[in-house]
Amino acid sequence: MSKSADVFNLMDNLLPRAEHVELAELDELTRLYAGIGMPSLRVMELSGVAGVTYHQIKAANPLLGLVDPIRVRHRYAELRGQALQGDAEALNDLGWLWLNGARLKAIPALARRLFKLAAVMGSAEALFNLAEQAFYGKGLAVNPVLAIDYYEQAFEAGIPCAAQALGSLYERGDECVIADHGKAISWYKKGAAEHDAMACFLLGRLALDEESTEYDPALGLYWLQWAAMKGEVLATERLTDFYFSTFESPPDPDGLLFRFWRDLAISQGSSWARGLHDLDGTIQSACKSS
């Protein structure tokens, strides 16, 4: 028997037929927590969506919009058929569905096997999903060291957001991983170099943290501004907070920068910034008395 036939038989045995697959009800709790890892970028591309962010990809689900069990099984049969033809992205999508329990009842052990097969076949997303499984302990014991290894492989394979995951892990540390803000900054910079706005925000936030060993206000403000202008509202809110705390002294004695970032945050949908709008009179009075 040829190697390709062996692989086909393996996957045919792994993947239950559509009529036998066990479906899950998508309740609010499942919807809330069915979000680790990522499906293939192809899922978004087939939907005609361009320029999607990592968070949009993370929230995507090839079966999420389907409520009719017949349609769910039909779509599953399509993915299964593609997987049996050696489509690594279909394998990854099926693994992601079984990992998260969205429409298909969660089977993390099966998801892990599919991710490993997809990774061997060239799926970068599968490497990221293996990292997420190890980090969150879904289908295996929590293993940050293994997660780091897979996150690094995923980044090298073309998943920019793996850098922010690594940066976050090194920033806060773990019982098996010593906190290292130098490494965190290094990984955030790698993500920033790939134009990952969230990595830029995390880089700026950490560099602007006075308690961090990597405290560097100039670096922090630079990357927060970069992320804010790319639409990352968390960065805009952090800049608003920074200039609000410094309007009585340089660098923002007139409160102009505070108002600029606050108004931008409001335009980006920040309810927190909207709540600061009534402070204009207080700020102007403080500026006149200084």
Cα→Cα distances 167→148, 178, 189, Å: 10, 12, 9
Closest CA to 264 of 273, 256, 272, 275: 273
Q: Which residues pair with 23 in a beta bridge?
A: 104
Q: Who wins on pLDDT, 91 or 54?
A: 91
Closest CA to 146 of 155, 158, 136: 136
Whole-angstrom distance, CA of residue 238 vs CA of residue 128 = 29
Domain ranges of the chain: 1-121, 232-290
Whole-model pTM: value is 0.83
Q: How confident is the model at residue 43 (pLDDT cuts 50, 70, 90)?
A: very low
Residues 119-124, mean pLDDT to the nearest whole number: 94
Whole-angstrom distance, CA of residue 195 vs CA of residue 52 = 13
Whole-angstrom distance, CA of residue 98 vs CA of residue 102 = 7
Q: Do 123 and 94 contact (CB within 8 A), yes or no?
A: no
Q: Which tens digit of pLDDT belongs to each residue from 155-212?
A: 999 999 999 999 999 999 988 899 999 999 999 999 999 999 999 999 999 999 999 9
Q: How confident is the model at residue 65 (pLDDT cuts 50, 70, 90)?
A: low
Closest CA to 197 of 235, 168, 163, 227: 227
Q: What DSSP state is assigned to residue 105?
A: P
